[in-house]
Amino acid sequence: MNIISIFFKSIKNFISPVSKAVDMQSEDLLEWLGISKTSKKLISEVTYFTCLKMLSETLGKMPLKFYQETEKGIEKGKPNAAYKLLRKRPNPLMTPSTFWATVEMNRNHFGNAYVWLRRELILQKFGGSYDLKDMWVMPSDSVQVVFDDAGYFGNKGSIWYIYTDKYSGEQFFLKNHEVLHFKTSYSFDGVMGLPVKEILKSTVEGGLESQNFMNNLYKSGLTAKAALEYTGDLDTKAKERLVNGFESFANGSENAGKIIPVPLGMKLVPLNIKLTDSQFFELKKFNALQIAGAFGIKPNQINDYEKSSYANSEMQQLSFYVDTELFILKQYEEEIDYKILSPEEMDEGYFYKFNEKVILRTDSKTQMETLSKAVDSGIYKRNEAREMLNLPIAEGGEILTVNGNAIPVTMAGSQYVKGGEET
């Protein structure tokens, strides 16, 4: 461990002379070298922002459940310290909803999201154990991943995470099992994910430019460019003063519809630009659908209801879960199970699962009809159905019942028996 500490200190001095981790993906380094990077203002592009918001809020609204697979089937697991953190408060600053939404926001925007599992030693009478104390989201742009392909630390192929605090400059070196690492599906090595903003860089930047164009058009009072005709020759400074004089009367929404004074011998000819002729809005809409499609977002979720109906929107929500969220949830659950559960808990069949039913809720009438059919068919117990409706359990509701005056399933057919013989 002394050798490892010395090696890490040398790494720290080498990669962080100014208390900040730098690698070839660092935006500051690429900006200093003059290499073009995706604009930091991309998040202001409305479609890109909507997709990030939709995915992060969808994960944030789904509660995490704790189950155990037993010989009798899947049952609710007995809450432990880790589940209480995940369920109630991952750390003193974040609720579970905010925590998972932040993780998902980092995962989509940067391609990778990192969560530090901070454990503490709990001493017992005979030995001790490391229990999960809290969980912290590490900003993705402050984390550097180091792959030990030569086995310098005794475990060839292991991964280390170097987190640099932006405020204090302090660095933390974390092992693989101390960090939850969530990545996008756009990965060619299975270790690091690629963000959508890099894959669709030109498309996303095109959407941002179209938005800037509309903003500038509004600022100019929805007036297009104009050509100024005059006789004679003017130097550069005189031209600038002349143009600035006209712009002071023409630009801005406050000057829209006002009269523009034109000196004698000059003529101001507007250059009409029709957005319909250039199919501006059609192209903007097509660009938005491309960005949304890359994120797995359905048209109705970015307010495109042109070909949508109530039934169609409901199917799009189901399709969104199957096509988009199912992979995301499965990845989260697998990483959480592997990094948080102990080997003994995994052997006993414990596992975590997000409750996806919260995004597949229907109207009250359909929900009641579905639950009633499930109870009458012996699929749900009455108390299980009441629990889904946030109602207290009722006496006798722990028995499966079926049609036939709602008798227990173990007594089905007894009403046709008379005197111990079938009639």
What pLDDT is recorded for position 309?
58
- Cα Rg of the chain, angstroms: 31
Residue in 326, 333, 380, 332 with CA at minimum distance from that of residue 356: 326
What pLDDT is recorded for position 238?
75
What pLDDT is recorded for position 18?
37
Instruction: Give the integer Cα–Cα distance in Å for 4 and 98.
Output: 36
- Contact status, residue 335 vs residue 180, Cβ threshold 8 Å: yes
Question: 10-residue block means of pLDDT along the chain (423 residues)?
Answer: 43 41 50 44 73 91 91 86 90 93 93 91 60 91 84 72 88 90 88 82 66 64 63 74 70 60 71 59 74 83 66 73 90 94 91 86 77 84 83 84 66 68 52
Provide the token pair at 368: 């009641």
Instruction: Give the integer Cα–Cα distance in Å for 142 and 162.
Output: 8
What pLDDT is recorded for position 55?
92
- What's the burial of 237, exposed, middle or buried (CB within 10 Å: 0-12/13-18/19+)? exposed
pTM of the model: 0.68
What pLDDT is recorded for position 163?
92
What pLDDT is recorded for position 32?
44
Task: Give 22's contacts (C-beta < 8 A, 6+ positions apart).
Answer: 15, 16, 28, 29
What pLDDT is recorded for position 393?
84
What pLDDT is recorded for position 214?
66
- Contact status, residue 115 vs residue 179, Cβ threshold 8 Å: yes
What pLDDT is recorded for position 338?
94
What pLDDT is recorded for position 347?
92
Provide the token pair at 81: 């310290």
- Contact status, residue 363 vs residue 390, Cβ threshold 8 Å: no
Neighbour-count burial for 266-298, b at 16+ CB within 10 Å, e otherwise = eeeeeeeeeeeeeebeeebbebbeebbebbbbb
- What's the burial of 251, exposed, middle or buried (CB within 10 Å: 0-12/13-18/19+)? middle
What pLDDT is recorded for position 93?
92
Q: Which residues pair with 123 in a beta bridge?
A: 128
What pLDDT is recorded for position 405?
57
